[in-house]
Structure 1
Amino acid sequence: MAASESRIAGRVIVYSMPGCPHCLQAKSTLGSLGLPVWDINVAHDAALRARLKELTGSSTVPHIFFNNVYVGRNEHLQNLSPEALERLVHMVREEPVPSNPYPLPAGTSPETEERDGGAFEVSEALRNLILKLYSHHLSTDGKSVDYRAMSKSPWLERYCEWTLQLQQAKLLSLSREEKLAFFINVYNALVIHGNLRLSFPKTMWQRYRFFNYVSYLIGGEVFTLQDIENGVLRGNRKGVTQLLKPFSNNDPRLQVALPEVEPLIHFALNHGVKGCPPIKVYSPQDIKGQLHSAAEAFLESSEGCVVDYVKREVKLSQIFKWYKVDFGGADEKLLNWVVDHMGESEKKSRLKILLSAGNVKVSYLLYDWSTNSTD
């Protein structure tokens, strides 16, 4: 049984970076020992990284200290003998932290660094693994997946192992930008994971079951694909075929939902079929710009928008029909949203001319429900 942190005299300090699987594994191991871990993110502190390299001879994170004893990196921690580990644990429990035993960035405190061990770090670790998978098994245009090869990939096995870390993610610590990137990436990966494990849904009923039952345990709560898309990213709005909102007023997951819908998510989420926007991996930094770029690319494609200048008709993806309320509701508001989010192009110029003249017909393109598998 772990000793109470209030009775522990010393401290373990870990210098880490978000998205580093070795850092996350080290902190998980230390946490299981019942030790207080002071996690310091060195990602944006070049001076601190240089000082650590000078002290340890290595620029690779994590760097792990038990009080003032440098243990090394994650592999060194994992390879400690039981006797050596017990001596270090006993030292931290019984001996107070020496004064200034290790370098600290200005303004560092346990409170300011605590969030780096939460959902953001888990999402970054998963994002890096997703990038590995996609780089080997996703087509260059992001439209198709080699599921057969991916199912045999060692990166998939590692990804599946790391999805277990989602159970401990502290979702309430995420900023809006981190939440967008986290749930978009998790959603797209979960669709692929579900297709690999359960096969591809082909009928309307199979698709309904797939998106309402395929799920991850995140932060102690079950999140299905429907929950992520309509509950979290759409600000708890009813989805297609749904009679009720995903989260009731007393559902703890409601605290995670965005306060209002973000329409741009519709150009980032991929349902595993050819009619969807391409799969990409998103980061919290400049997430708004990344989503705008995804929207521009989709609207420029013939799957997203077709402008028939002669017939004064705009043909849009079914996505705009299903989620019309997210884009303003009425046809006029929908078309204004579309033109505002197009990149500069001949298509945009023609659409602006049509809108200025008025009386534009809106129709919707056939949606390609065939799987995005390369097989």
Structure 2
Amino acid sequence: MLGKFLSFLAWAGLYRIPLMVLNDQNPTPTNLTVTPTQVADVTASFMEVLVDSFVSTDGKKVSYLALEQSPFYTKDFEDFRTLLKIVDPSKMSDQERKSFFINLYNILTIDALLSMRSLPRSTISVTKFWSRYAYQVGPYTLHLDDIEHGILRGNRPHPTTSSIMFERNDPRLRLTLEPDHRIHSALNCGAMSCPRLNFYKVEGLSNNLDNSMKDFCTEAVSNVGGSSLIINSIFEWFTSDFAPTEKLTMKFLSECVDDANKKKALAEAADGRRRYTFHYDWALNAFSGVSEDRVKVTVYLQSLCSDTVRFFTSQLYPTWQDLQDIIDLEFVPYGKARATPLESGGYKFVCQHGQEECYGNLVMSCVQNSLPISTQVDFFNCMFSQRNPAQAGSKCSDDLGLDWTPFEECAKSDQGAELLYQNGLRTAALKPRLHFIPTIVIDGHYDDYQLRLSLLAFKNQICNMYQGPPHQSCL
């Protein structure tokens, strides 16, 4: 209770959260002599071991629990924190300093997360995370914001506060580097939408940053098939690091990606011929190190069902906000509808609550087919929060910054009918047969008892079924 109160005071500017220097208690070595160049190389090698041993093969997730229980964390991290206290990074070359601080930022992020009593749901849920955790690096105390904005971004203003890290007489100014937009493809903030975790050695650094930037540009753009693009929010927050304007940032992205379809779509966005919205998944990038351990949830639903509305808005959506990093979620919009194939092609649908519900189901099927799951959840929650969910597609598209036209066209087309029909086949294949909407299938299983639990306490049910490491929101 006290912690929440202090967090509120900090948010209100009435309490200053103390800086946590993670190597403050480590003794300063007196019998160890290393050069700044050697420390830059050791830091890259240290990060290489961390990535090879405790990061998923795609670079997106960290096995925090396995790392915390390993000798690498209990011993090698201690040695590394001690080493940091005797290096002067101002004596590194620019390339050495850039390699050193990219790797150090990622190491400090992971170390900060493991320093907590339990893993948070996300780094953004930790009050002032980026200005709260620091290392003593030789004569300098540096937190995460200092490293990113003060050093690697050349002391450019923070994108949310417009303040700079180092004032005129701050000795840390000598550490600043020429701004390099490519660092945004290398710094990992502990979230699912962050760039891949990797290690960056001094030798070949520029080529490695070029490659990571290309990979990140490609991963940052989705929903190319529709008329709206979904783009990683880093390109919104740091627009000025990539180009003078947001439209020119779209042009930068179009030149950065290799995929021809994405390149064309981004060029259209730069010219104002295609809409786009920004999105960032802040869920913690954690996995067990053994398997994904996510709880598989499939929700069979329909657009005008009051029980569906109640479950979605009071159970599923709040649970998703807390536990999306451990839920593998999908929707099957169809419910108790019936479909009849027509001789002329297409299908005739009859729905439990009338033709308007059929139209809502068609819209949901088209949204389901076009958007990532996190955006689907936001879209459907918006629909179910309106008086008439079946007719809320246009409003919800506007609210989420999406172009309504492709969803509307899909819902009235043979494509939409085929999508809904396929959802009907999946619904009909359920065993035991579906008899209530919504039906919630968890890890391939459902029955009446489980359904009652889902309708009343969905979050508790997910927490109880989750087999991974302890989750902050399940404590």
**Counterpart for residue 196 of structure 1:** 114
Q: Does 1:250 find its partner at 2:156?
A: no
Unaligned runs of 5+ in 1: 1-26, 32-116
Judging changes above 3 Å, is the alpha-carbon distance between structure 1 residues 310 and 197 closer, same or farther for their aligned structure 2 residues? closer
1:354 to 268, 280, 304: 268
Aligned residue type for 1:237: R
Q: 1:256 to 1:348 in 2, by over 3 A?
A: same
Which of 279, 291, 294 matches 2:212?
A: 294
Give the structure 2 partner of residue 168 of structure 1.
86
- Native 8 Å contact 1:263 1:327 kept in 2: yes
Match of 1:271 among 167, 178, 189: 189
Q: Report the counterpart of residue 285 of structure 1 in structure 2.
A: 203
Cα 1:119–1:242 shift into 2, 3 Å: farther
Cα shift at 1:28:
6.2
- Separation in structure 1 between the aligned mates of residue 192 and residue 174 of structure 2, nearest angstrom: 33
After superposition, the Cα gap between the structure-2 partners of 1:360 and 1:265, relative to the gap in structure 1 and judged at 3 Å, is: farther
Take 1:353 and 1:335, find their aligned partners in 2: how far apart are those partners? 7
Alignment-derived partner of residue 285 in structure 2: 372
Pairwise CA distance, 1:194: 0.5
Match of 2:31 in 1: 29
Deviation at 1:309, TM superposition (A): 6.2
Q: Which of residues 161, 181, 185 is equivalent to 2:103?
A: 185
* Count of paired positions: 258
Matched residues in 2 for 1:353 and 1:29: separation?
58
- Summarize the Cα distance change of 1:257–1:310 in structure 2 as closer, same or farther, 3 Å threshold: same
- In structure 1, distance between residues paired with 2:154 and 2:69: 37
Letter in 1 for 2:238: Y
Q: 2:45 aligns with which of 128, 147, 151?
A: 128
Alignment pair present for 1:315 and 2:230: yes
Question: Aligned equivalents of 2:130 and 2:108: distance in 1?
Answer: 10
After superposition, the Cα gap between the structure-2 partners of 1:178 and 1:364, relative to the gap in structure 1 and judged at 3 Å, is: farther
Q: What corresponds to 1:305 in structure 2? A: 221
Alpha-carbon distance between aligned partners in 2 of 1:326 and 1:333, rounded to the nearest angstrom? 11
User: What one-letter code is carried by the residue in structure 1 that aligns with 2:91?
Assistant: S
The SS at the match of 2:276 is strand
1:314–1:329 Cα change, 3 Å? farther
2:37 & 2:200 partners in 1: Cα distance?
A: 13
- Matched with 1:147 is 64
Aligned residues of 1:339 and 1:348 also touching (Cα < 8 A): yes
Matches of 1:196 and 1:124 in 2, distance apart?
24
Given the alignment of the two structures, is residue 326 of structure 1 paired with residue 241 of structure 2, yes or no? yes
Q: Partner residue of 1:91?
A: none
Compared CA separation, residues 136 and 310, structure 1 to 2 (3 A): closer
Q: Where does residue 8 of structure 1 map in the other structure?
A: none
In structure 2, runs of 5+ residues without a counterpart are: 1-28, 288-468, 470-475
**Aligned equivalents of 1:276, 1:328: Cα separation in 2:** 20
Measure, in 1, the Cα distance between the counterparts of 2:130 and 2:48: 23
| Structure 2 partner of 1:345 | 259
In the TM superposition, residue 300 of structure 1 has moved relative to its aligned partner by 1.7
- 1:254 and 1:172 map into 2 onto residues whose CA distance is 10
Query: What is the identity percentage for the equivalent residue pairs of Structure 1 and Structure 2?
Result: 27
Structure 1 SS opposite 2:142: strand
In structure 2, C-alpha distance between the alignment counterparts of 1:177 and 1:349, rounded to whole Å:
31
Distance 1:360 1:180, change over 3 A: farther
Amino acid at match of 1:195: L
C-alpha contact (below 8 Å) 1:315/1:362 kept by paired residues:
no
Amino acid at match of 2:60: K
8 A Cα contact 1:268 1:279, kept in partner: yes
Letter aligned with residue 280 of structure 2: Y
Instruction: Work out whether residues 122 and 283 of structure 2, in 8 Å CA contact, stay in contact via their aligned partners in 1.
Output: no
One-letter identity of the residue aligned with 1:327: F
CA contact (8 A) 1:181 1:287 kept: yes
Q: Give me the whole-angstrom Cα distance separating, in 2, the residues matched to 1:325 and 1:362.
A: 20
Counterpart-to-counterpart distance in 1, 2:54 and 2:266: 39
- Aligned equivalents of 1:352, 1:209: Cα separation in 2: 34
Give the secondary-structure state (helix, strand or coil) at the position aligned to 2:136. strand
Q: What does residue 157 of structure 2 align with?
A: 238
State the distance in 2 between where 1:320 and 1:154 align: 38
Give the Å deviation of 1:203: 7.0
Give me the whole-angstrom Cα distance separating, in 1, the residues matched to 2:30 and 2:188.
32
What displacement does 1:253 show?
A: 0.5
- Note closer, same or farther for the CA distance 1:200–1:329 as it changes in structure 2 (3 Å cut): farther
Residue 227 of structure 1: how far off its partner (Å): 0.4
- Matches of 2:277 and 2:262, distance apart in 1: 18
Aligned letter for 1:176?
D
Return the letter of the residue paired with 1:305: V
Match of 2:405 in 1: none
User: Distance between the aligned counterparts of 2:161 and 2:123, measured in 1?
Assistant: 14
Displacement of 1:129: 2.5
| Correspondence for 1:137 | 54
Q: Is the partner of 2:128 in helix, strand or coil?
A: helix
Tell me if the contact between 2:230 and 2:277 (Cα under 8 Å) persists in the aligned partners.
yes
Take 1:210 and 1:225, find their aligned partners in 2: how far apart are those partners?
8
Q: Which residue of 2 aligns with 1:40?
A: none
The residue aligned with 2:136 is 217
Question: Cα distance 1:292–1:153, how it changes in 2: closer, same or farther (>3 A)?
Answer: same
| CA distance 1:272–1:30, shift in 2 (3 Å) | closer
In the TM superposition, residue 307 of structure 1 has moved relative to its aligned partner by 6.0
**Match of 2:445?**
none
- Amino acid aligned to 1:262: D
